[in-house]
Amino acid sequence: MIKVGEPRALGRPAAEARLRFGTELHELSGGPRRRLLMVDDEPAFELSFYCGTCPLLFRRLETAQQKLSLESM
């Protein structure tokens, strides 16, 4: 059996988080939005679209200027 409980939030509040996921809107042509991994609100990686059969891929963007490590956190 699986134990069910109340939902709970993990991690830090959004205002304090240095690392988060976001999206970028395309022009009015209606194409799919770009999914991004953001570091300090700057786009660092573009994420592939996940379909459930392919691995999730990250492409580093030129705007990625910082490195994060557990030691520095």
Q: What is the mean pLDDT of residues 12-33?
A: 77
Give the pLDDT confidence score for residue 51 in this predicted structure.
Answer: 74
Between the alpha carbon of residue 62 and those of residues 4, 10, 12, 22, 54, the distances in Å are 43, 30, 27, 17, 25
Query: β-strand 42-47 against 19-24: which pairing, if any?
Result: unpaired
- For residue 33, pLDDT beyond 80: no
Q: State pLDDT tens for residues 63-72.
A: 777 777 777 6
